[in-house]
Homo-oligomer: A and B are copies of this chain.
Amino acid sequence: MKMFKEKIELKSKGSIPTYIDITKEVRKAIEDSEVENGIVTVVSPHTTCAVFYEEYAHDENEEGVESLQQDLNNALEKIIPYHTSADTFIYPGDEHYQAVESWPNADEYLPNGDRSALWNGDAHLKATIIGSSETFDVEKWNLGVGSTGYIYFVDFDTTRSRTRKCSITVIGE
């Protein structure tokens, strides 16, 4: 049994939910692991991001969002509206604003003290529903998926562009 770990960096757009195809990076980690059979686990350490498995849908809108991703945005929006005002969600409350304002790096989260920069409750809830990790099959030194399956990392946070991380761990023989 052996284990191989790779950490990748991704850039979110900030203005819209950012879907990123990371299948190539996962395949590369499996190759570098030299694992013949086992599993590969893909994990987001961010509470507004998620990992999921989906078909590549070919058609994209002018912002590069694939059709199934737009459809997913539309489906989730029916129960989780975009966080566009202070009363869209209960979160964030006064104590949260004050806690963040007390952090040494407060300006990173609240540029110019603008509290609306924390209006990402929608992203938190969507990420919880989709899930922060997914496990895939490793089979004969390859990712065990069909030809139409792809692994996506999504950052639902639309408050600003960020550098995100994602860890890929291959375990097997």
Contacts and interface: CB of A to CB of B under 8 A. Distances in A.
Interface of A: 1-3, 5, 37-39, 41, 43-47, 52-55, 57-59, 67-68, 70-72, 74-76, 78-80, 89-96, 98-99, 121, 124-125, 127-137, 139, 144-146, 148-149, 167, 169, 171-173
Contacts of A139: 167
A128 B172 CA distance: 26
Contact residues of A: prevailing secondary structure? mixed
Contact of A92 (B54, B57, B79): B57
A53 B128 contact: yes
A147 B133 CA distance: 18
B59 A93 contact: yes
Contact of A131 (B55, B80, B92, B131): B131
Given A46-B146, A52-B131, A94-B59, A71 B125 contact: yes
